């Protein structure tokens, strides 16, 4: 699986934040729910338009973004 097939960024939607499959649910929404203690099952129950793969794509997206940030900062 690649998050690139799931995470979309559109300048006019949610302020250009990365969203899931062109929906208005952002990666950061999902991360916030996970950080608040919601399980994957609870998120999927509350938002049936999401899939388990969507949640994993959010985690993969931020992990990749963090790796690239560290590489840029430490790459000098």
Contact 54/30 with Cβ under 8 angstroms?
Answer: yes
Domain, as residue range, for 14: 3-74
Q: Which residues contact 25 (CB under 8 A, 6 or more apart)?
A: 19, 47, 49, 50
Give the pLDDT confidence of 10-40 residue by residue, as tens digits: 999 999 999 999 999 999 999 999 999 999 9
Task: Using a pLDDT cut of 90, give the percent of the chain over it.
Answer: 82
Asked whether 18 and 26 are in contact (CB, 8 A), the reply is: yes
pLDDT of 72 > 80? The answer is no
**Is residue 16 exposed (0-12), middle (13-18) or buried (19+ Cβ within 10 Å)?**
exposed
Question: CATH number of the domain that 29 lies in?
Answer: 1.10.10.10
Pairwise CA distance, residues 28 & 34, whole Å: 10
């Amino acid at each position: 699986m690649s998050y690139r097939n799931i995470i979309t960024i559109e300048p006019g939607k949610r302020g250009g934040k990365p969203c899931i499959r062109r929906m208005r649910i952002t990666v950061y929404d999902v991360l916030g729910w996970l950080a608040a203690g919601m399980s994957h099952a609870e998120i999927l129950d509350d938002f049936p338009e999401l899939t388990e793969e969507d949640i994993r794509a959010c985690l993969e997206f931020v992990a990749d973004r963090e790796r690239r940030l560290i590489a840029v900062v430490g790459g000098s």
